[in-house]
Amino acid sequence: MAGDTPFRKRRLRRTKSSEAHQGGTGPAEGASTPAEHQAALPPSPGTSDDERGRSASLEAVRAAASSEMPGQDGTTEPTTGAGRLRKLKRGVHKGGESARAAVGQLADRIIDTAPRIPVRDLDRLRKQFPGLGPEELADKLVAGACNATATVGAGIGAAAMMPVPPAMLAELAAEITGVAAIEMKLVAELHEVYGRRPPGNLGQRSTAYLTSWTEERGIDVSRPTTLNAALGGQMKRELRQQIMKRMVRDLPNLIPFMIGAAVGALMNRRDTRKLADRIRADLRRQQVTWDRLPALPPLEQPAVPAKELPKGLDEPGV
């Protein structure tokens, strides 16, 4: 009613009088009630939360705490569009670093494999393929290498019938190193057929053949700058780029249900033939005929051949 005293004021007066009756030292008349005392009071009926202000204060504290909550990486970023974009960029950056590390490991593995690849010299090749000229002998070598890389691609595609991400990466790495070993052997023996054996020992020749495979061109032994570039530090950077291209091209080989096997065989055969055509085009321009070739010593053979090469690749007729 209009003449009644509000409930809140009646409650405050009762509190003050009870304190005075008990002899407590309450606030002086007219002074404001302490914040602790008001906070301890139960909510009064008939009053709204907005009048007390308690809920609003708690919501503000919760919002401030959530906005300043550190993320997983220790940074304090608000959950806004810009913050999510920065997290996405960090994830892409970490993924790129992992890919570069995997490519670097593959490059080191291929560099380690190169000196362990057995290479047949010209005398042995002519004995295994009697009566053939340089072009016919080169055709035989290319056909054998294409069959070998197609077999590797089909085997990896068949193994990827039930794709599991870690296994897929291992299968992709195995295919790249296996195909690289077969193709580097082909590159080295094509240099023998066309009379363009690089000078040096086993390690130097292996580096030259590896660079020829990486750059998809023949080594010009008559130009020292070309040979020096093959033996320099630029080779490893170009090798990483070549491996990255191979990884992208070999991804369809991992399609399950035996589709990847057919795709892998077809693509590996095509890529090996394309590489051989480029190498042969370079070597033909520098070719030394067999009747003009000086007597060359037999090629050194590795003590432990590379296990990445399929068995029977050096058999007569292959």
Question: pLDDT 10s digit of each residue in the chain, 318 long?
Answer: 455 555 554 555 554 444 444 444 554 444 444 444 454 455 545 444 444 444 445 555 455 545 444 444 444 445 565 665 565 555 544 544 566 777 888 888 999 999 999 999 999 999 999 999 999 999 999 999 999 999 887 776 555 555 555 566 777 888 889 999 999 999 999 999 999 999 888 988 998 899 899 989 988 776 655 555 555 567 778 888 888 888 777 666 666 555 667 777 888 899 999 999 999 999 999 999 999 998 889 999 998 889 888 887 877 555
Cα atoms found within 13 Å of the Cα of residue 315, Cβ hemisphere only: 7
By the 8 A CB rule, do 273 and 259 touch? no
Beta-carbon contacts of 125 under 8 Å, excluding residues fewer than 6 positions away, are 137, 141, 189, 192, 193
Report the helix count and the strand count for the chain, using DSSP H and E: 12, 0
d(CA 298, CA 301): 9
